[in-house]
Amino acid sequence: MAVLFLYDLAAVLTDRPGMRWRRELAHQLETRTPADLAVQLTGGALALAGAVLLLLALAPGLRGILTMRSPDPDAGVRAGIGRKDAAQILRDRAMEVSGVRSVRVKVGRSRIRVRATSHFRELDDVRADLDAVLAVGIEELGLVHPPQPRVRVRR
């Protein structure tokens, strides 16, 4: 629409007649006043549309959804998993590691933060096992952009 308007504006500046729709619009603007009901309704509808577009621009969108790889890219089907759901799956995986008493997992868009408490094994051994289990878990989630895990283990 903007290209059409610019083309028409360039035509008028080069002493050619404007397009019919623009001449009709200019005639309507000459004959109508802001007090006309049609002008007020149109202005209200445009203001409402602008407010809706502004609200959509400021809305966060689907940031809580991590997109997953599609088995068939040509199918056009897209899937996603919620961050909290992915955290729960990875937490369940981490709890299966021997020596882990409790685990807290937070999944972000680019990083996974894992805090684990160990009670009877060496911390380095628990961390190595957690790294391996989480790497497999992240791969099985099938995310398009897999986040990088950051694992902290303490007593």
Q: How high is the pLDDT of residue 137?
A: 94
Question: Looking at the predicted structure, is the pLDDT value of residue 29 above 90?
Answer: no
- Mean pLDDT along residues 3-14: 87
CATH number of 65-154: 3.30.70.1350
pLDDT digits (tens, 9 = 90+) for 72-121: 777 777 788 999 999 999 999 999 999 999 999 999 989 999 999 998 88
C-beta of residue 101 within 8 angstroms of C-beta of residue 153: no
Question: Residue 128: pLDDT band by 50, 70, 90 thresholds?
Answer: very high
Side-chain half-sphere exposure of 134, counting CA atoms within 13 A = 30
Percentage of the chain exceeding pLDDT 90? 54
Residues of the chain with CATH 3.30.70.1350: 65-154
Higher per-residue confidence, 11 vs 90: 90
Q: How high is the pLDDT of residue 107?
A: 95
- Mean pLDDT along residues 23-52: 91
Answer whether 0.75 is exceeded by the pTM: no
